[in-house]
Structure formats: C-alpha cells, structure tokens
Amino acid sequence: MIRVPVALADQPYEVLVGVGARHRLSAVLPVGAERAAVVTQADIGVAVDPGVEHEVFLLDDGEEAKSLESVEDLCRHFSRWGLTRRDVVVTVGGGVVTDTAGFAAAVYHRGVRVVHVPTTLLGQVDAAIGGKTGVNLPEGKNLVGAFWQPSAVLCDTEVLATLPPREYASGLGEMAKYHFLTGIDLADLPLDERVAECVRIKADLVVADTTEQGDRALLNYGHTLAHALEIAGAHDLRHGEAVAIGLVFAACLARDLGRIDDERVAEHRLVVEGYGLPTTVDGGMDPGALVDLMARDKKAVDGLTFVLDGPRGPEVVPGVEDRHVLTALEQVRA
C-alpha cells in the first residue's frame, strides 16, 4: 500500500493507494465517529464497511445529480437519520459523488467530517484529492461549492478493473494534464505508482495553496474549454475527454499569443493522442457560445482567463482577447 501525505498545516491527512485500499475504511475513520452516512450511486456497485453504524444514501446516476437539489436532498436525509457533527460522511464513487456529497458534508451542520473512496481513475487522481467540493448550475460547472478537506482518501486500484473503457479514459485526461504541469512521463509507471504520483503532484500544489489563490489554479490547465464543452453538451464528452481537447486548445491559444512554438503544440497533440484521447471538438459547436461559457468560468476575474503554457511552464493568463480564443477554437474544430 502506498501512503501519500497531504501535509496541510491545520488538517493533514493521508491518501492510501493500492489494491484493497477500500478495506482500510474502518481504520481511517475520524476519531469519535459513531455513525457513517455512506453516499454512492446505484450503478457504482462497490461496497464498503465503515465498521460503525451506517446507512447508505443514493444519489441519482449521471452528471445531472451534481446539483443543489441533490445537496438539499442529502442534507434532509442526514437530518432525518440523525447524523451529527461528530459523525462522518463516506463517499463511494466518481467525481459526481465526491464533489456533491463532499459539498453536502461541508454545509450540513456547518461541517461534518468526510472520507472519500473514489472508484474511478478520474476520482483517484484528481476529484477526491484536495478538498474542492461543488455542484453545477445551468450557467456553468462547479459554480457553487466549498473547500472542505477530507479526513482520509482511499484509492483502491482494484476497482478500476471494472470501469468501462471511456470512463477509464476520462481519468487519463487528467494524467495528460499532470504531464504538462511537471514534465513527468506517467505512461510507463505501474498503475498504483501512476495514481500515487498524480496524488503527490496535486497534494504539493494543494498544500502550497489550499484555497486556489495562486499556483493551485494551474490544476485547471485544459479545464476552461473543457467545462464549456461539458455545459454545452458536446456530443456526450466525458470530463477527461473534454480536458484532453482543452489541453490542445490551450496549446494552440498559447502559440497564437506567442508563448510557445509549433513543436510544443505538436507535443501536446502527441501526448494526448498517446493516451487514446480526442484532440478535436465537433465542428458544429458554436464558437461564440463557447466563448460566452468560458467567460463565466470561476477563474475569469479579469476578462477571459486561461492556464497557458509558456517559457516558464503553465501560468494563469488573464485578459485574453476574444479574437485569439476564436482563432484557437478553429484549430481544434473537427
């Protein structure tokens, strides 16, 4: 079992990575927790035993469950069951579950402890790590949420063997992102070490910038277009697939701004294609509508804002003009 510390000053915790990690749940429950509200989805099919009195609460399937309505429903169920502030919420599922139930834990009784058991590759390398929780609005992804750090995260790589191919590939989009943030080639590592390395990369950024006021924003590389594509309903893209397209788009945009050259753009395409992920978006998408959606991104505090590659590596770049964005969009349209 690989243990990755998340050394936060006020609430350090560990991420356990390896086969059978979910069976360590009772050992990592917060001290004093007498009951556990286990939140999952019907199609997850992964059972856990917290070792204390517990009840299972189901979210609806799909991304549509990531809503304020779901948070209200969970909190009302918690209240009826009698969950108290000294108890714990256990999430079992992908990013929809960890984000939604994590947010419910953050706001119920103004904060109940939470342990994440992510069951997708995307959840294990990204969504469950770092304490960002939230839900979507019709106007954009993750526009309502809170920073709420878990007490522990259990990344059981055994459960990844049952993932549908596109669901597994969705996690590879985040791995491609880490490649460009660090230059580390993750593709040849054994699975457990690959997941653990992604956790280490994210943990280092989270510890240095817990509430995303600085370098933690680099974790959004490729995500500005990705979120716009997801809200626009781009041919049922999975999150990691949208991130993959977003990475290539960001490279094209950086080139148009004179930050990188053709060779670096080609490297982005090569890495993304090497993971078997898409590099172009449906040519029927309305570029103007995508620009409007990107303008609603939570990073856009000073005009259109992107994480873009450059001579010093990826950086947050505010105030990008629409014309550059439209040019880059043309270069990733099928």
Q: Does residue 202 have an active-site annotation?
A: yes
Q: Does residue 299 have an active-site annotation?
A: no
From the list 54, 177, 220, 298, the catalytic residue is: 220
Q: Does residue 86 have an active-site annotation?
A: no
Q: Does residue 235 have an active-site annotation?
A: no
Q: Does residue 132 have an active-site annotation?
A: yes
Q: Does residue 239 have an active-site annotation?
A: yes
CA torsion, ordered 313, 318, 321, 323, to nearest 10 deg: 40
Measured between alpha carbons, how far is 28 from 151 in angstroms, rounded to an integer?
8
From the list 167, 212, 230, 241, the catalytic residue is: 212
The pair of structure tokens assigned to 244 is 């993959």
Measured between alpha carbons, how far is 281 from 330 in angstroms, rounded to an integer?
10
Q: Does residue 141 have an active-site annotation?
A: no
From the list 80, 110, 312, 323, the catalytic residue is: 110
From the list 22, 177, 216, 255, the catalytic residue is: 216
Q: Does residue 110 have an active-site annotation?
A: yes
Q: Does residue 223 have an active-site annotation?
A: yes
Q: Does residue 227 have an active-site annotation?
A: yes
From the list 179, 223, 255, 298, the catalytic residue is: 223
Range 45-54, long-range pairs (CB < 8 A, 24+ positions): 45/162, 46/22, 46/92, 46/93, 46/117, 46/119, 46/156, 46/159, 48/22, 48/90, 48/92, 48/117, 49/23, 49/25, 50/25, 50/26, 50/88, 50/90, 51/25, 51/26, 52/26, 54/90
From the list 239, 255, 259, 298, the catalytic residue is: 239
From the list 113, 132, 179, 238, the catalytic residue is: 132
- Which helix (H) or strand (E) element contains residue 132? strand 132-137
Known catalytic residues are 110, 132, 174, 202, 212, 216, 220, 223, 227, 239
